[in-house]
Amino acid sequence: MQVGDRCYEEGMYDAAKLLYNNVSNFARLASTLVHLGEYQAAVDSARKANSTRTWKEVCCACVDGEEFRLAQICGLHIVIHADELEELISYYQDRGYYEELIGLLEAALGLERAHMGMFTELAILYSKFKPQKMREHLELFWSRVNIPKVLRAAEQSHLWAELVFLYDKYEEYDNAVLTMMSHPTDAWKEVQFKDIIAKVANVELYYKSLSFYLDNKPLLTNDLLTILSPRLDHSRTVSYFTKDAMLYAAESKDAELAETLLQWFLEEGRKECFAACLFASYDLLHPDVVLELAWRHNIMDFAMPYFIQVMREYLTKVMGKTTIPLEQCLVMTPLPVTFDPKICELISVGSLPG
């Protein structure tokens, strides 16, 4: 034994090979065979030695020698030990052998001693180098991966659909919904969204999802409302549609549509929205129509800011270049024309000039 070690240390590997073989020191024999480039024989000796240390030595030697089939044989005896996995992965990655590393972990998943670390690290490798395979892997093995760790990998790789899938399985429903709304092209799916939105903890997401549908999926809004209706504040929900309707009417440049909307607000008793719509569709409305509606419904106070502005514009046109200050021609100081989408919530009879 001592003679064999001396031969080994002095690089006399052929002599050391004979000596170690004679005394059945398979661990040292495997090391010797690696130096001789006899990788298959080294693997056979490592199998007889059956120690993790020997498997690692021979595996690394096979990787360096680009004997990846033999390296995988050795690797399968290493990855089953969770505390050895990270070092082996680093050895492959540092040398750029990602395909071979993925192949090793894929082969290891069927082992009886396969553990969470193997499933997790393979998912992370897929996210970086084979994103097209990650979804299938997660669908099969999501319960066997470290979800927080894989979540970070999916986010870093911008795999939004996979990120939503993991959030759902991890019961982080709020994050799942936010991700779908932030990346609808990649992550939004109708059935999945409706299933998850019903489970969120933050009720504000109900209204954000409503806005998202109005902007991106208007034809599906009724389906969403069917799910959310028991959970929504109905008066607040109406405000979302009110603002959307006012903006649509203003952008349509259709005076008849704008006046129809005004009449609808009055029929529904939404005086504040009537006032807000006067400014949202200011350029489309006929003052005589507005005056008649306000007078008929006894809400002149709500229409007064609009009429002040109409009068101001009229006097400006009539007076032209007169040197008389315009303000002296007005009975009261006009209000600036601004439109805040929240005006339905802010305008009240008491706040208007009387």
The pLDDT of residue 354 is above 70:
no
The pLDDT of residue 350 is above 60:
no
Alpha-carbon distances, residue 234 vs 231, 240, 335, 348 (angstroms): 9, 10, 32, 20
What are 165-222's pLDDT values in tens digits?
Answer: 999 999 999 999 999 999 999 999 999 999 999 999 999 999 999 989 988 988 898 8
What are 62-83's pLDDT values in tens digits?
Answer: 999 999 999 999 999 999 999 9
pTM of the model: 0.71
The pLDDT of residue 339 is above 70:
no
The pLDDT of residue 122 is above 60:
yes
The pLDDT of residue 89 is above 60:
yes
The pLDDT of residue 119 is above 70:
yes
Per cent of the chain over pLDDT 70 is 88
Higher pLDDT pick, 324 / 25: 25
Average pLDDT, the chain: 88
**How confident is residue 100, by pLDDT bands cut at 50, 70 and 90?**
very high
User: 108-145 burial string, b = 16+ CB within 10 Å, else e?
Assistant: beeeeebeebbbbbbbbbbbeeeeebbeebbeebbeeb
Per cent of the chain over pLDDT 90 is 61
DSSP string, 192-258: HHHHHHTT-S-THHHHHHHHHHHHH-GGGHHHHHHHHGGGS-HHHHHHHHHHHHHHHHHHHT-HHHH
Mean pLDDT comparison of 140-144, 289-293, 326-330, highest-scoring range: 140-144
Contact 197, 164 (CB under 8 A): no
According to DSSP, residue 131 is labeled G
The pLDDT of residue 5 is: 82
What are 247-293's pLDDT values in tens digits?
Answer: 878 888 888 888 888 888 898 888 888 898 898 889 899 999 999 99
Contacts of 346 (CB under 8 A, 6+ apart): 272, 340
**How confident is residue 322, by pLDDT bands cut at 50, 70 and 90?**
low
- Measured CA to CA, the distance from residue 190 to residue 202 in angstroms comes to 20
The pLDDT of residue 335 is above 60:
no
**How confident is residue 1, by pLDDT bands cut at 50, 70 and 90?**
low
Q: What's the alpha-carbon Rg for the chain, to the nearest Å?
A: 37
- Stretch 137-148: mean pLDDT: 97
The pLDDT of residue 234 is above 80:
no
The pLDDT of residue 349 is: 41
